[in-house]
A and B are shown apart, each in its own frame.
Chain A
Amino acid sequence: MSDASINASRAYEDEASFGDYFALLKPRVMSLVVFTALVGLLAAPVSVHPVVGFCAILFIAIGGGASGALNMWWDADIDKVMKRTKSRPIPAGKVEAGEALAFGLALSGLSVIMLALAANVFAGAFLAFTIFFYVVVYTMWLKRATPQNIVIGGAAGAFPPVIGWIAATGTMSVEPWLMFLLTFMWTPPHFWALALFMRSDYDDAGVPMLTVTHGRRATRIHILAYTVLLAVLAVGTAFSGIGGPIYLAVAVVLNALFLHGAWKITRRDEDDSEADNFKVERSFFKLSLLYLFLHFGAILAEALLKPYGLGGW
């Protein structure tokens, strides 16, 4: 085999597959976007035609995926440094950064226009704002500039239920913003717990994570502070238009567990954590995944049971 053919076959191995383009959309983040947007759409006090609802969720998901592709385009330099992200399509050499940019921009335009046509212009405009917020305000501007980056990034990830609600109603009210606040307040303790046991990643990339700039003791205190505020908000939401007895029961149990986890994290020092390989921090992180899923699941259950006279108060 000649050198030229060996080089060619290597180049072909690095060629992007369908899966690589799909990976640019951050499928795991997209699943959260789909779920929370669906809850926002179904919790709204109006009925939506299934086809319109499906299209709305699909285009919100595509918009979320497009912002993920644009995020990967901009962050390609730090993604190749971090263990968690170095296998992403751009640092792995499967997709060119310029391709990811074009892909992200094209899907952003498509999703915004299609959501405006399928649902309403307000929903389309709000999706455009969300993409702008995540890509420009968070990724380009604040992610590398402030240790509060996770708090700001959390806002972008919290918009989907609001867009889902607007897609259904065409208007804004308090309830979708309660769902927004639920995700917004949940994001910092979720990510800071991750940062506690993945510290070297953020150190290597030079991202000003709270663990790096203010230290691990301060991060543990921040986790507890946000968890207390989150618990008050999450339980209080039970008494709003989207709450009910099912949600209240779920919120009380989960927030008690979450507060207990945050308290344990605060009481530990670095020697304790190193000794058991961050067992408490890891279990808190896993609980945080269940926490958000079950809160939104409970809101969905209340909404689905309402027509049968069972959901809500």
Chain B
Amino acid sequence: MALRKEHEIHKRRSGLNKGVGILLAAFVVLIMALTMVKVTSASFKFPDAQSSGEQGEQN
């Protein structure tokens, strides 16, 4: 059975849903920030597989 647009469960679980939503959004931002830091660090280099793949295409 489909829930009505404003079903009572939406109100009841509003706090939980908002909390989970905020956490997921924060997780996405965190992963993005971490990725930026990793790929812009001096020690970062692309995996060897990519360069060997490029060589394969040239051959």
By a beta-carbon cutoff of 8 Å, the part of chain A in contact with chain B is 12, 15-18, 21, 49, 51-52, 55, 58, 117-118
A173–B20 Cα gap in the complex (Å)?
39
Measured between C-beta atoms, what is the minimum distance from A89 to chain B in Å?
13
Identify B16's interface contact among A16, A55, A117, CB under 8 A: A16
Identify B33's interface contact among A15, A18, A21, A51, CB under 8 A: A51
Q: Is the Cβ of A51 less than 8 Å from the Cβ of B37?
A: yes
A12–B41 Cα gap in the complex (Å)?
50
- Residue pairs across A and B with Cβ atoms less than 8 A apart, 14 shown, are A12-B12, A15-B12, A18-B16, A18-B18, A18-B20, A21-B16, A49-B37, A49-B41, A51-B33, A51-B37, A52-B34, A55-B30, A55-B34, A117-B34
User: Known interface pairs A18-B19, A49-B41. Does A118 touch B12 (Cβ–Cβ under 8 Å)?
Assistant: no
A118–B18 Cα gap in the complex (Å)?
27
Enumerate chain B residues within 8 angstroms of A118, measured Cβ to Cβ.
34
Identify A17's interface contact among B16, B33, B36, CB under 8 A: B16
Decide if B15 is an interface residue (CB 8 Å cutoff): yes
A15–B41 Cα gap in the complex (Å)?
46
A21–B15 Cα gap in the complex (Å)?
12
A117–B37 Cα gap in the complex (Å)?
12
Enumerate chain A residues within 8 angstroms of B18, measured Cβ to Cβ.
18
Enumerate chain A residues within 8 angstroms of B19, measured Cβ to Cβ.
18
Measured between C-beta atoms, what is the minimum distance from A66 to chain B in Å?
14
Measured between C-beta atoms, what is the minimum distance from B39 to chain A in Å?
12
Contact with A along B20-44 (1 / 0, CB 8 A): 1000000000100110110001000
A181–B15 Cα gap in the complex (Å)?
41
Q: Please name the 9 residue pairs, one residue from A and one from B, whose CB atoms are nearest each other, closest first.
A: A18-B19, A51-B37, A18-B16, A51-B33, A49-B37, A18-B15, A55-B34, A118-B34, A17-B15
